[in-house]
Structure 1
């Protein structure tokens, strides 16, 4: 595991070219409390919408989330959806300078309507016609090849990866000595001849070979059939709850599934191909690269919608076996915000409180228990060492932030701990958007940081009763005397 942890640190050196079908994933969230009088269908009261990169765009987003560099090439139309996608590519620090615009082409968009945790409907606008700008795309690929270490072909069957373009890109990449990894589509993998690796899921593997792929032995046989008949170097097959299989002509390794809970499998294949290729591009061997990709897949399926996995999450995942009840309950701000959103989609009330929690005492425990009683899941914001020092003086904290976070995470009433470096938790509260904000009764609602913000969207502020005579400062004084 320590070797894998060191590998994660090297992912920031990866530089990958990603070519494929980009699309806009639109998520429309709301609530349903009545049936339409016009037809026997639910009426969705829309609350908010979320736009994300889909298809090959999600592969690029996953590469950037791993701190890798990505040169992204795709084709969009000169329409509103295409313009939205280009804007998101820029805001996600991927860039749109290598995206080719084809006049008159309809850019693919998938809109999902969701009430609570139930998807009601998906509506697609798309074209699957072959692109008319393949020569321009190929020229763009050839310009970028010298600056990258590997190439991903993300094939969603929407017309960007034509047979001739795939063949030409693989040939150019091989001539340049670049690794080619394909997330495939369709039944005929001969079009990917010359690729180093393909990453089908179990269903795709069965469809491409006409062979069963339920047991380990069947997966190996089907994968080696592809290798022998399609001129592919290796197969990394994702198998849902059965994990992942890495198969070459000579060897096979089966990796168990890493998911702790599955909420949404949307885009999991994108995360796998991004993590696998980033690792391969910096010289990590195929099996260890697949281990990282398998770990990333286990993390991303526990998230909502089209999502990404960050390097910090991979590290936390690696530490989980050793720190199962501590490390997984300590997260950074972005990860905590994603978990809070997932909890809310499941109908949970998210609570928040914060403090230094140096030398945990009965007053702290009382506050945390009262906070947990006011919500379904409790997130605790913990002042960093530097923040405590600024607030309490140079002699504090007595315990460093790692020790304080570990103690808090071991409590049954605490569901998540987030360390923040600012003097106040205002930024963290705005990221989490808690339903319930809890502070001690030595505050008033008017003086609670973040109270106005939480109340602005209907959240609740709770003042917890204090346990008299309990203070870390007084405890330290008694110890010194």
Structure 2
């Protein structure tokens, strides 16, 4: 299948509707810096700078589905605690989600808190109860699934062994899906796969396949034999084995397909399995052949492991990877991608710089400012006024060059690491998502006049004023050209 056909397949994912049932978790990330060792014990002291919370476990499958525009119904169980309330709010706040988060009194919502400094995880603290949910709650969950499954195309069972999919719950859910004519995709846990007997697709990783079968999985032939044995033993329709740096292997009927790894570089493997099950399920729900759905999931997983933290792959990310620009144009990215790249760089301990402008008819003064800005940071993001924004600021005859042309010229400069456009009159919203460490403007401003100065200084950043080259002005140049 060519690039155009794959691009059309990615766009089809938006037609998907998926029911996800499984163990929801709350992932918390506490970021800060370490400058000293505690006098109380030989442990680092983390100076906390910010905290981030997001859905994890089966909730991350939901995040991945909403990121590609799919419609999702989500069934899970949380505790009657603050974490459960936070998780319910995070899930309910996502577009296109119908949440059914049942509450069990006295149960702790699974929470994983990661403490991170300079891109290094110092400690993970877990709070959870991994016992099976109360039988009456399990019965209610199955009844809701029976009523909901007909309104979706595929059911996903995301098992993290925290109690939602314990006992006979998986078999009852699979029976309900098949009774409604729906397929079931399972992300398994443990070594007893009889729990998922009859599922249409199961997605173990290489280690899980070895544990479930007791067979060697080191070579491709042995891995295929183990996958075939697993399928035949439990009546699975197909087996998709994720193999980390070796990609994926799909066993479907008599066909075996190997998909090489797509990751250009690996920053964090957290959540890659959730991405795989989400994209392959969405593909099946959209009517794609299983091999195409698996291929798209492989591409998406390669994108996710290149990001920091429990990340997702948007449909735009997948499309961009299929039609990736070469050379300098790769630096021209969306606002969301710029924010993700900045976060990735920040976690490596790099200082992020930001400056902005119209940059119409790039001249030596612009280049001088950008080179100064880049000297004050490790990576420089340039916010570029979109055409409509320039017209509002400069008048109906500007810009002289389109936003695409201006972005391409900026991206060709060695001093510039990313270019992203903004439609607003000021870059404040963009600054808020990039969160630069260094905010740069020309010396014709005072620090208190620079948009975003208060916000940047509040989170510990600095504002720098770049020296200007005299005699360089875009407006003057335009006036001379027009006579």
Q: What TM bracket, shorter-length normalisation? A: over 0.9
Match of 1:341 in 2: 343
Which of 224, 230, 233 lines up with 1:229 in the alignment? 233
Which of 195, 200, 208 lines up with 2:199 in the alignment? 195
Distance in 1 between residues matched to 2:145 and 2:291, nearest whole Å: 28
Distance in 1 between residues matched to 2:381 and 2:399, nearest whole Å: 21
DSSP-derived class of the 1:418 partner: strand
Distance in 2 between residues matched to 1:99 and 1:478, nearest whole Å: 65
Match of 1:379 in 2: 381
Match of 1:31 in 2: 33
User: Per the alignment, do residues 40 and 54 of structure 1 end up closer, same or farther by CA in structure 2, a change over 3 Å counting?
Assistant: same
Q: Please state how far the C-alpha of 1:71 moved relative to its aligned partner.
A: 0.4
Match of 2:290 in 1: 286
Q: Please state how far the C-alpha of 1:306 moved relative to its aligned partner.
A: 1.5
Question: Residues 72 and 94 of structure 1 are in contact (CA less than 8 Å); yes or no, is this contact kept in structure 2?
Answer: no
Which aligned segments of 4 or more residues in structure 1 are displaced greater than 4 angstroms?
A: 94-97
Q: Please state how far the C-alpha of 1:96 moved relative to its aligned partner.
A: 6.9
Match of 2:6 in 1: 4
Superposed CA offset, 1:432-479 (max 9, x none) = 111111112222222221122212233211222223333333444444
Question: Residues 86 and 96 of structure 1 are in contact (CA less than 8 Å); yes or no, is this contact kept in structure 2?
Answer: no
User: Per the alignment, do residues 45 and 445 of structure 1 end up closer, same or farther by CA in structure 2, a change over 3 Å counting?
Assistant: closer
Distance in 1 between residues matched to 2:420 and 2:141, nearest whole Å: 44
State the number of aligned residues.
479
Gaps of 5+ in 2: none
Distance in 1 between residues matched to 2:202 and 2:408, nearest whole Å: 41
Distance in 2 between residues matched to 1:244 and 1:412, nearest whole Å: 37
Superposed CA offset, 1:325-345 (max 9, x none) = 344322222222222122122
Which of 269, 273, 277 lines up with 2:277 in the alignment? 273
Distance in 1 between residues matched to 2:58 and 2:463, nearest whole Å: 42
| TM-score using structure 2 length | 0.95
Which of 165, 175, 179 lines up with 2:183 in the alignment? 179
Which of 237, 247, 256 lines up with 1:243 in the alignment? 247
Question: Residues 66 and 97 of structure 2 are in contact (CA less than 8 Å); yes or no, is this contact kept in structure 1?
Answer: no
Match of 2:119 in 1: 117
Match of 1:452 in 2: 454
DSSP-derived class of the 2:131 partner: coil
Distance in 1 between residues matched to 2:290 and 2:249, nearest whole Å: 11
| TM-score using structure 1 length | 0.95
DSSP-derived class of the 1:48 partner: strand
> How do residues 24-423 of structure 1 correspond to structure 2 at under 5 angstroms?
24-93=26-95, 97-132=99-134, 133-320=137-324, 323-423=325-425
Superposed CA offset, 1:33-89 (max 9, x none) = 222333322222322222111100111111111111110000112222222211221
User: Per the alignment, do residues 374 and 180 of structure 1 end up closer, same or farther by CA in structure 2, a change over 3 Å counting?
Assistant: same
DSSP-derived class of the 2:168 partner: helix
